[in-house]
């Protein structure tokens, strides 16, 4: 069976930098309070009129350039987002239109912060089976237009940022280089511990004045439940992925976890025995970019020259649902 690998990476961060000090002018909070609880120092917000497909387009073009390919070389599009551009159609179709890939399949993945790894797993399978030669996988988010800038949600609002990351997945020329395995999990009993209840087709009219007044269209999070499960499951799935490939944490050159909370990532890395210098902490600069967090962080590492041929890369995510996953690759 063919082995799939990442042919090129790209990312896109909005130019507008929003510091903790700026948020403190809108919420009862402070730079110290935010950093102590989340590790976030700043994040990026889009300008008015910019949607997730716009960020995805820039990230995709950069990934194509890195791979030496054109948009017409993409056989299939997979787009992961929890901040859909519209109720329907899927955001992948808006990206396809902007790329000019008429007729190419376009799939939306709705697994929140784990969406990129779910998409990567699908792309890997397509390439392994020979169904498609080059698959675009992109995670893209615009959170800033849907946050509650009131004190009832300050613990959530300070976390999120906007951004996109993309990879082109294709066949590896080497049997031992590329994506070694992907591992995906979910537990729906936690679905209401981290969610946005409305709008939704379960409600007549999908949205009501009552739902709006109650703030049900804003994110809700049980922080304690999320923290405990995130640490537990990211450790478990990381061990699962490494064990499946005869590897240990000592073999990991780059650990790229989802950027939800710096304290979560520090705890996971410490308990796995991965040194902090091998663990990405881009959350300090970009906040939680959900499905875009891992591809943004990985693109930065690749472009900086830190990722070298033969390096072992471990990616791990945790998300609403709850969903979680991991991927191991040899660069």
Catalytic, 236? Answer no
* Radius of gyration in angstroms for the set of CA atoms belonging to the chain, rounded to a whole number: 19
Catalytic residue, candidates 93, 183, 288, 289: 288
Beta pairing class for 312-319 and 254-257: parallel
Residues in the chain: 331
- Structure tokens, 288: 């939680």
Catalytic residue, candidates 143, 183, 254, 258: 258
3-state SS, residue 97: helix
Q: How many CB atoms lie within 10 A of CB 205?
A: 8
Catalytic, 155? Answer no
Question: Shortest CA distance to 318 belongs to which of 154, 114, 35?
Answer: 114
Q: Across the strands, what pairs with 257? A: 316
Write out the E strands in 206-322: 220-221, 254-257, 312-319
Only one residue has tokens 């490494």, namely 242
Catalytic residue, candidates 12, 113, 279, 289: 113
Catalytic, 288? Answer yes
Q: What whole-number distance in Å separates Cα of residue 149 and Cα of residue 157?
A: 7
Question: What residues are labeled active site?
Answer: 113, 258, 288
């Amino acid at each position: 069976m063919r082995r799939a690998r990442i042919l090129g990476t790209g990312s896109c961060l909005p130019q507008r930098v929003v510091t903790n000090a700026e948020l403190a002018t809108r919420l009862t909070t402070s730079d110290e309070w935010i950093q102590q609880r989340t590790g976030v120092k700043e994040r990026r917000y889009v300008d008015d009129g910019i949607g997730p497909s716009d960020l995805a387009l820039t990230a995709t073009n950069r990934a194509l350039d890195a791979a030496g390919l054109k948009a017409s070389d993409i056989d299939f599009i997979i787009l992961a987002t929890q901040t859909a551009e519209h109720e329907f159609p899927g955001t992948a179709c808006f990206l396809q239109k902007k790329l000019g890939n008429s007729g190419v399949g376009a799939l939306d993945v709705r697994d929140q912060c784990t969406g990129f790894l779910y998409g990567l797993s699908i792309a890997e399978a397509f390439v392994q089976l020979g169904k498609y030669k080059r698959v675009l996988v992109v995670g893209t988010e615009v959170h800033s237009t849907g946050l509650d800038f009131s004190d009832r949600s300050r613990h959530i609002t300070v976390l999120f940022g906007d951004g996109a990351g993309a990879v082109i997945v294709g066949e590896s020329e080497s049997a031992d280089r590329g994506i070694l395995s992907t591992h995906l999990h979910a537990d729906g009993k936690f679905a209401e511990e981290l969610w946005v209840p409305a709008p939704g087709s379960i409600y007549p009219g999908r949205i009501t004045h009552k739902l709006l007044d109650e703030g049900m269209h804003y994110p809700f999070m049980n922080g304690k439940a999320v923290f405990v499960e995130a640490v537990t499951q990211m450790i478990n799935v990381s061990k699962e992925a490494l064990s499946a490939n005869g590897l240990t944490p000592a073999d990991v050159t780059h650990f790229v976890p989802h950027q939800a909370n710096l304290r979560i990532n520090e705890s996971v890395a410490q308990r796995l025995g991965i040194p902090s210098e091998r663990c990405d902490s881009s959350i300090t600069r970009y906040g939680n970019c959900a499905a875009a967090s891992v591809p943004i962080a990985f693109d930065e590492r690749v472009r900086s020259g830190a990722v070298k041929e033969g390096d072992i890369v471990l990616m791990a995510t945790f998300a609403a649902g709850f969903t979680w996953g991991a991927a191991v690759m040899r660069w």
